[in-house]
Amino acid sequence: MNIEQEINRRRTFAIISHPDAGKTTLTEKLLLFGGAIQVAGAVKSNKIKKTATSDFMEIERQRGISVATSVMGFEYKGKKINILDTPGHQDFAEDTFRTLTAADSVIVVIDVAKGVEAQTEKLVKVCRMRDIPIIIFINKLDREGKDAFDLLDEIEEKLQINVVPLSWPIGMGSSLKGVFNILDKQINLYNSDDKQRREEPLQIDKLDSGNLQKHIGSSAGELLDDLELVDTVYPDFNLVDYLSADISPVFFGSALYNFGVKELLDCFVDIAPRPQPVKTQQREIIPTENKFTGFVFKIHANMDPKHRDRIAFVRVCSGMFERNKNYFHVRAARNLKFSSPTAFMAEKKSIIEQAYPGDIIGIHDTGNFIIGDTLTEGENLKFLGIPSFSPEMFRYVENGDPMKSKQLAKGIDQLMDEGVAQLFINQFNGRKIIGTVGALQYEVIEYRLKHEYNATCRYKPVQLYKACWLRSNNAEQLADFKKRKYQFMAKDKHNRDVFLADSSYGLQIAQDKFPDIEFLFTSEFHP
């Protein structure tokens, strides 16, 4: 197979959902179809349950699992599918945002009873910012849920996307008969006794009630009415509109009962985008270019706290990656060679000789990488679009053990490289502030500083509302702003100016008074 064929057959995507909608269950069923696992239950839930916020063993376990399940590759119908796992817990949402930068498309899982939940809304917003094609899977059809039309209305309204149903439920909950596959005109009958089902669907060539009644009895009339309405209300499916993220196909099913999942997967391998061009500050990278390029979108500490080594996850963007070849680490301006790059197939890791655009490789790292780093064959490139989000929680961090200040500084530095949280240094009083998107991160940081760096930290409250990066063409106004607000000015890890607003009111006033300054709530990772 030549490189172009390798690229064409790759599908790299992420499954996103609000916790408990069924992401893990769906992932597992997709892996079952790909033959990557043999039995259900093999993929551990990659989430920290709410009740476990203080259970550090649970955090450790979670970290181990998320290395193993960070990327799950499998083959299906000649396609190489890479599923990028995203953390279930909302306090790790930032990790998810960054993982999306390495995905070419997403599948959004929605619970039929709960509809669009907060986390889904946040994540889809990020997908829309980047025009990532979205397929929606409405899950848990085996339970009573919202009316399908109402749910689609809710999705369109809350997620601001146009839906095109490609399958349709026949009943729901206790009266679930099956799903109708709109494109193929097939009925997939539901059987609640069979969780590993692989039955062949029924072909329905003529959509009339007599024909349908034979298979689904009295539900035939309702299905015909529904399909007529679907036909009038929603546009026809069109590949170009899906790929440009203008429409989102919708499937219905039950991941738990492996129902409606095959329809989803078959359609996905047909329509989902192959590896897409990627933007850099200098130019756009096309996957078919001869030379290798890739970027680090995630860094994960290894499980063994005695060895501070890490795994950097690199998305291959163009060319072919080869083991033991020299590659240029752009930020560090030096060449590096990787002797044991790993690929991930289901829950297994194995050393690979080469990788293609769309693939994710794990590189053993002893502290060379930070998120957003670029590898090339010599070209000076910087990938764009790896955001750092404005934290929503802030605490001063102080040294709890004067004998260990070096360890603490190093620990904080490395954890920030991993993207666990963000560090700001207040320019007025020199105090360090850690900003996160969720409270759980503080516990993780404290625990990991202790166990991996032998350092003790203490947190002190600080009343802050938001951290914003500043951008302006008006140098005079910017300088004036910084002078007036010097108490609230900080530097981030890359020495960029950050304004720490103490309230939404304070921020609003600043925005009104300094109209030439842009207050940014996300930033690229590099200066």
Residue among 9, 79, 98, 140 that touches ligand G4P (CB under 6 A): 140
CB of 272 to ligand G4P, least distance (A): 20
Per rule CB under 6 A, is residue 45 in the interface with ligand G4P?
Answer: yes
CB of 365 to ligand G4P, least distance (A): 28
Residue 467 in tokens? 């951290």
Residue among 22, 133, 362, 391 that touches ligand G4P (CB under 6 A): 22
Per rule CB under 6 A, is residue 20 in the interface with ligand G4P?
Answer: yes
CB of 141 to ligand G4P, least distance (A): 7
d(CA 262, CA 188): 10
166 in Cβ contact with 266 (< 8 Å): no
Q: Crossing angle, helix 219-233 and helix 209-216, to 10 degrees?
A: 120
Per rule CB under 6 A, is residue 83 in the interface with ligand G4P?
Answer: no
Mark 341-360 with x for binding to ligand G4P (rule: CB under 6 A) and - for no binding.
Answer: --------------------
For ligand G4P, the closer of residues 55 and 413 by Cβ is: 55
Residue among 19, 64, 171, 305 that touches ligand G4P (CB under 6 A): 19
d(CA 506, CA 224): 57
Per rule CB under 6 A, is residue 87 in the interface with ligand G4P?
Answer: no
Residue among 136, 145, 135, 152 at smallest CA distance from 112: 145
d(CA 453, CA 468): 30
Of 110-139, binders to ligand G4P (CB under 6 A) are: 139
Q: Which stretch binds ligand G4P (CB under 6 A): 22-30, 206-214, 303-311, 338-346?
A: 22-30
Mark 224-263 with x for binding to ligand G4P (rule: CB under 6 A) and - for no binding.
Answer: ------------------------------xxx-------
- DSSP designation for 499: E
Q: Which stretch binds ligand G4P (CB under 6 A): 17-25, 232-240, 422-430, 452-460?
A: 17-25
Residue among 88, 294, 362, 438 that touches ligand G4P (CB under 6 A): 88
Write b or e for each residue in 58-81: b if 16 or more Cβ atoms lie within 10 A of its Cβ, otherwise e. Answer: ebbebbebbbbbbbbbbebeebbb
d(CA 131, CA 139): 24
- Three-state helix/strand/coil letters over 319-361: CCEECCCEEEECCCCEEEECCCCEEEECCEEEECCEECCCCEE
Q: How far is CA 112 from CA 22, 104, 127, 191, 251, in A?
A: 11, 26, 21, 18, 11
DSSP string, 206-244: S--HHHHHHHHTTHHHHHHHHHHHHHHHSPPP-HHHHHT
CB of 139 to ligand G4P, least distance (A): 5
Burial of residue 297 (CB within 10 Å: 0-12, 13-18, 19+) is: buried
- DSSP designation for 65: H
Per rule CB under 6 A, is residue 89 in the interface with ligand G4P?
Answer: no
For ligand G4P, the closer of residues 40 and 520 by Cβ is: 40
Q: How far is CA 296 from CA 311, 364, 444, in A?
A: 10, 12, 22
d(CA 342, CA 314): 10
Amino acid in position 30: L
d(CA 274, CA 130): 16
For ligand G4P, the closer of residues 112 and 386 by Cβ is: 112
CB of 256 to ligand G4P, least distance (A): 3
Residue among 9, 11, 23, 177 that touches ligand G4P (CB under 6 A): 23
For ligand G4P, the closer of residues 22 and 287 by Cβ is: 22
CB of 43 to ligand G4P, least distance (A): 9
CB of 143 to ligand G4P, least distance (A): 5
Q: Which stretch binds ligand G4P (CB under 6 A): 12-20, 374-382, 385-393, 432-440?
A: 12-20
Q: Which stretch binds ligand G4P (CB under 6 A): 20-28, 280-288, 342-350, 418-426?
A: 20-28
Binding site for ligand G4P (CB under 6 A): 17, 19-25, 45, 47, 88, 139-140, 142-143, 254-256
